[in-house]
Each structure stands twice: as structure tokens, then as C-alpha cells.
Amino acid sequence: MFWKSIVIILGLLASANCAVIPNGLIAQRDVDLDGRIVGGSQTSISSHPWQVSLQRSGLHFCGGSVISSTMVVTAAHCLLKVTVPTLRVRAGSTYRSIGGVISNAAAFKIHEGYSTSTKINDIGVVWLKTKLTLGANIKAIQLATATPQHGAAASCSGWGSTSYNGGSSSHLLYIDTRIVARTECGSSSYGHGSKIRETMICAAGSNKDACQGDSGGPLVSGGKLVGIVSWGTNCALAKYPGVYANVADLRDWVIKQM
């Protein structure tokens, strides 16, 4: 009976996306990873100057990346419940609630091909009302033109949860990961299976992952934006790499909006 319930609980964990599970189930993990993104380290905005925080009523809800002085790229799913008058971007700060500059949104657009069920084309753009002054702490990042190789080093940053269902960080955190190619990510080596579709790419690190609240934020490899935090199964589970929108696949759509 005990083992049966364990199996059921594991099954529930595996099927959860951004769903809610009781805190008690992952208490041990919380203790291990306290104070770190999931397995991340504190960093400063000058090392990730394209990173921004998307805010609504003054509160961080997703990440994003500066791609020009008037434009930010994020995940489509971050923009689903947002209205232009309430949407703001904080740029140039290591902290999500203070510092840097705040710019109001002028408009935003969700990729026409985004699907809430399959999560393909999970990308969107935000146009800013106040132009960002680019400098040491605010820089535009180039969009990758080619899909990174399997095994390539990639780093991800954000202010999201430091453990699944755990608290999040007010200080910017980052992790070093390795790219897991799409076919590999959907293979039996991992648990995602056929959920890995076109326009997706994965990245994994041992006990390192993006998590809730990191969505929309950057996955960077070779100095280029290669991915956008999209979805996962729980966070930092060995069998479940983080899933990202593949920027190389979606680049043309973004360029068209610029």
C-alpha cells in the first residue's frame, strides 16, 4: 500500500506542468536547494544585461530578454493573461523589485501559432513605451540563427522558484546547463516523449533547471539567445530536461515584428 501510494505520487509529479502539488511532498528537496534557483548561483545583471523582469501590478511574473532598445522577447504563455496598461518591464537590475529602470508596455504580440495544449511556438514580443538606454547593465542580445548542437554549453537566468513549489529569489540567479537536442529530448532516454515537438529544444544540468517564474527568460549559448524558458515537468528532475522555445526556429517571426 505504501509503495503503491509512492508510485501514484511520482506519477502525479511527472504529469504536472505548472500545476500545484502540496509543499510537503518535496520538503526534502527544498532543504537541499534552499537559496539557489534550482541549483543556481547568484549573479549580477552586468553578466546577463539582456535579462528583464516582466511585471504586473509591480510584481514579477515572468522573465524576458532585451532584443532592441524598444523590444523584449518572452514566452507566449507569459502574455496570455496580461493587458497592455498593467504590463511593465524592469531592466538593468540584479533585483526583481528594486533598481534599474521601469518601462511601460506600448503593445505586445503572441505568436499566432502558439498552442496552449502542445505549447509549440511559445514566443511573444513586447514593445516598450519608453526607449531603454542601452549600457553596461542593459544590452540587446542577438537571436541565434542556428539551433545549438547537442551538448553545447548554455546558461539560463531568472528570478523564479528555487525549488518546485518553493519560494523564489529576489536576487538574479543563473545556472550552467547543456543543450539536449530535440530528438534526444523526446527519446526514451528521458520522460517527455512525444510532448517534445517542433520549435522546442531542451537543456539539462544535474540538479539544475529553470522553474516557475523563470518562464520567458533567456537560455544563452555562444553569446546568442538560443532558447526561451517554456515548460518542464516539476523542476530539476534527472529524467526531465527543461524545455525551451527554440529561438533559431522562431527567429523569422521575431524579425518580422521588429
Binding positions for ligand ARG, rule: CB under 6 A: 18, 160, 209-215, 229, 231-232, 235, 242
Distance CA 243, CA 119 (A): 10
In the complex, the smallest distance separating the C-beta of residue 203 from ligand ARG, rounded to whole angstroms, is 8
Residue 240 beta carbon to ligand ARG: minimum distance, rounded to whole angstroms:
7
- Size (the chain), residues: 258
Could you confirm whether 170 is annotated as catalytic?
A: no
Contact 161, 235 (CB under 8 A): yes
| Residue of 77, 103, 163, 221 marked catalytic | 77
User: Residue 135 CB, nearest distance to ligand ARG (Å)?
Assistant: 28
Pairing of strands 51-56, 41-42: unpaired
Q: Which residue among 65, 111, 122, 192 is the active-site one? A: 122
C-beta of 132 vs 203, nearer to ligand ARG = 203
157, 161, 163, 215: which is the annotated catalytic residue? Answer: 215
Q: Can 68 be counted among the known catalytic residues? A: no
C-alpha span between 249 and 12 (Å, rounded) = 32
Active site residue 192: no
Smallest separation, CB 234 to ligand ARG (Å): 7
DSSP 220: E
CB-wise, 12 or 18, nearer to ligand ARG? 18
Look up residue 233 and give its amino acid. Answer: T
Q: Can you spell out the DSSP letters for 45-90?
A: GGGSTTEEEEEETTEEEEEEEEEETTEEEE-GGGGTT--GGGEEEE
Question: Based on CB atoms, which residue is closest to ligand ARG, 199 or 215?
Answer: 215
**Position with the least CB separation from ligand ARG:** 232
C-alpha cell at 39: 541549483
Report, as residue numbers or ranges, the catalytic residues. Answer: 77, 122, 215
